[in-house]
Structure 1
Amino acid sequence: MIDLSDVLDARVRVEETARRTPLDYSHTFSDMTGAEVHLKLETFQRTGSFKIRGATNRIETLSDDEKSAGVVTASAGNHAQGVALAATKSGVDSKIVMPENAPISKIQATRDYGATVVLWGDDYNEAQAKAHEIEEQEGRTYVHAFDDEKVMAGQGTIGLEIMEDLPDLDTVVVPIGGGGLIAGISTAVKEQNPDARVIGVQAEGASSAAQSLQKGEIHTLDSVDTIADGIATRNVGEKPFEVIQERVDEVVAVSDSEIAIAVTTLLERAKTLVEGAGAVALAALLSGAFEYEEDELIVPALCGGNIDMNTLTTVIMRGLVETGRYVKIRTVLKDRPGALDDLLDVISAQQANIYGIQHDRTSRDIAMNAAEVELDLETRGTDHVEQLLDALREEGFDVEVIA
């Protein structure tokens, strides 16, 4: 099991390539939660993710023969970019296997950092199997995304920075995919402040760690399904799991809707762009996934900002829906002049803004003398949505919320 000395050694290798990232006190999230919230903005890291730290530490400890043979790895995107940049800076050839559905932006960025990209499989685990084939065929060194002590120690340098900036912290909240990040951070934090809590967070659609802790052995999911693609792994690694059992106090899960709210709130209130995996720590705090005291010093680690633009559009819309800022409704009107005007008069009186209207007379689900209408509306919160719906129903409109 890694210890503090491993993380301190890693910092010497990592600091020439990785940036020291800010720990920023947030008035907004402190007011929203009642805690004293300091955001660890690892989204400002080179490659947009913490992965450059672990990748650098691993590659810098390769032998000369291993460097000459090159490296290979599998990744959904962030580790890919970290390995690509770290390898290129060290003059090492890198080959990265990514799932076929990996975000286009991450694929292109990995290529731009100098790696050869191979697209293979539906998820990380299938990509990993292909990468091990390449390892055997080409004699490359496999740089694991999380199940490697040098990688874990490199990620732990985030914990060193947190402790230097806020030594009296009460709780640090860390995403869990394969577990390398939380293994490193918990080692750096707990060995300097044993009273500090370390809370791990997974997406509900990729939540294997809590079940593993309950069983006392690693539990592997059959599949994963979450917008947080950066932590969409079926299981935690063996080496990180040992550390998690020893040094992590609690593991919780958050839904995709809660992640979307965190992403949109960070963008709107903190002017900070994160990907789904980078938002889960804050999502856990905002949703009350774990208990905390008033004025508790809490550090959510925002560890990834590489979100695909198409995904971002979907996430923002989901976040707006969840917070009552956008609603789509359906109703059926009499097919006569003025019927639509009557509906719009009620919406206008409630000061909802009409984003779009779809009007259909041909649906087989309605009467021949009726028309189905769908409206996309911009609203001002959940209370405003309820007021609007009540007003429509009081005027006799049978309204269904469809988004």
Structure 2
Amino acid sequence: MTERHVANPSSVPSLRIPTFEDVQTARVRISGVAHHTPVLTSRTADARTGAAVFFKAENLQRAGAFKFRGAYNAIAALDGLSRLNGVVAYSSGNHAQALAYAAKLQGVAATIVMPRDAPEIKVAATKGYGAEVVYYDRYTEDREGISQRLAAERGATLIPPFDHPDVIAGQGTAALELIEDVGEIDVLVVPLGGGGLLAGSALSARALLPACTIVGVEPEAGNDGQQSLRKGEIVHIPVPKSIADGAIVTHVGHLNFPILKDCVDDIVTVTDAQLVEAVRFFTERMKVVVEPTGCLAAAAVMHGAIPCAGKRVGILLSGGNIDLTALSALLGQR
């Protein structure tokens, strides 16, 4: 992929769209800090799908989600003055926790703008890692505007959850590990919110396995990425409502979309009911906790939204941050 630059500074900083070389650089930066998470298999999942399925367990990553990879990489790439001035981010939870933890490990102050209705477990973890939390109303206030104002007032660096080259590159290391661990796969299926994980994963998969089919998965209520890919331009939607709280976004990132358009074959959706079933499957059958957002890719494969029979399929389980009360309520649904 040739190097390009975003020419829309009013909506996003003029930053370089990352390449696979940036993913490789990110792996060096996060090596020995981020977990090299395991790949899980299940005979039940294989029988149900007719495929050989490999689950990359980012729910077992530090801070409970793949987000730690991009957050740590983005902070590690800062110069000394930027580190002294701290970082600002906005997030519904997993990027918040990841950036707070990554900042703490590197001695950098962090301020996180979070929605008032963010899961309490994610808010508590973010504060527990030492970050300052600033609340906003996700349905009436602009989190990006609030974060940009805070960053300007404090001279801090804004590190958004998905629309940042070092974040995208860091997220791409998960798929890189998966492919290196299991070898050739025919299909790679990745959760999609703002597009950081899918874009980074696509960079790795296209470089290592050019023939691999790459599919993103969104909640049915928030299919902005699907609409964008089919229209060929970024589509904005109202704030969606879904139990996949980590994928509640109104549009994909400006840095992410060119990669998605060039590298991703399709984007499909799943319902909240299918996500609940997937959460139950991982809890009851595989004995691991995966949050609803983390189940997006798995739900699509297990419900036949993607043709997978007879193929080797890599699935990213993006996170496992769900409190016991919410998990119990989901498992009780029939």
Residues 99, 126 of structure 1: 8 Å contact kept:
no
Task: Give yes or no for the alignment of 1:276 onto 2:292.
Answer: yes
Residues 262, 283 of structure 1: 8 Å contact kept:
yes
Task: Give yes or no for the alignment of 1:105 onto 2:121.
Answer: yes
Residues 76, 124 of structure 1: 8 Å contact kept:
no
Task: Give yes or no for the alignment of 1:252 onto 2:268.
Answer: yes
Q: For 1:205-216, what aligned pairs fall within 5 Å after superposition?
A: 205-216=221-232
Q: For 1:87-236, what aligned pairs fall within 5 Å after superposition?
A: 87-122=103-138, 126-236=142-252
Instruction: From 313, 318, 324, give the equivalent of 1:303.
Output: 318
Secondary structure at the aligned position of 1:225 is classed as coil
**CA deviation vs aligned residue, 1:127-182 (integer Å, no higher than 9, x gap):** 33321221122111000100011100000001110111122111111000000001
- Pairwise CA distance, 1:222: 1.3
- Pairwise CA distance, 1:15: 1.5
**CA deviation vs aligned residue, 1:172-220 (integer Å, no higher than 9, x gap):** 1100000000111111111111011111000012210011112211111
Relative contact order, CA 8 A, sep 6+: which one is greater? 2
Task: List alignment gaps of at least 5 residues for structure 1.
Answer: 322-403
Measure the CA separation in 2 of the matches of 1:255 and 1:138: 41
Residues 42, 50 of structure 1: 8 Å contact kept:
yes
Residues 169, 297 of structure 1: 8 Å contact kept:
yes
Q: For 1:370-385, what aligned pairs fall within 5 Å after superposition?
A: none
| TM-score, scaled to structure 2 | 0.93
Counterpart of 1:34 in structure 2 is 50
Counterpart of 1:315 in structure 2 is 330
Percent identity over the alignment? 39
Which of the two has higher C-alpha Rg? 1
Residues 99, 124 of structure 1: 8 Å contact kept:
no
Does the C-alpha gap of structure 1 residues 127 and 310 become closer, same or farther in structure 2, counting only changes over 3 Å? farther
* Aligned residue identity for 2:249: T
Report how many residues are paired: 318
Counterpart of 2:253 in structure 1 is 237
Secondary structure at the aligned position of 2:56 is classed as strand
- Pairwise CA distance, 1:124: 11
Task: List alignment gaps of at least 5 residues for structure 2.
Answer: 1-16
Q: For 1:19-58, what aligned pairs fall within 5 Å after superposition?
A: 19-58=35-74
Structure with the largest fraction of strand: 1
Measure the CA separation in 1 of the matches of 2:116 and 2:200: 29
Counterpart of 2:10 in structure 1 is none
Counterpart of 2:21 in structure 1 is 5
* Aligned residue identity for 2:314: V
Does the C-alpha gap of structure 1 residues 124 and 132 become closer, same or farther in structure 2, counting only changes over 3 Å? farther
The list of structure 1 runs, each at least 4 consecutive aligned residues, that deviate by more than 4 angstroms after superposition, is none
- Pairwise CA distance, 1:63: 1.1
Counterpart of 1:17 in structure 2 is 33
**CA deviation vs aligned residue, 1:328-363 (integer Å, no higher than 9, x gap):** xxxxxxxxxxxxxxxxxxxxxxxxxxxxxxxxxxxx
- Pairwise CA distance, 1:125: 7.2
Q: For 1:324-343, what aligned pairs fall within 5 Å after superposition?
A: none
| TM-score, scaled to structure 1 | 0.77
**CA deviation vs aligned residue, 1:271-313 (integer Å, no higher than 9, x gap):** 111111001111001111111232x101111010001333223
Give the alignment's Cα RMSD to 1 decimal: 1.3
Secondary structure at the aligned position of 2:142 is classed as helix
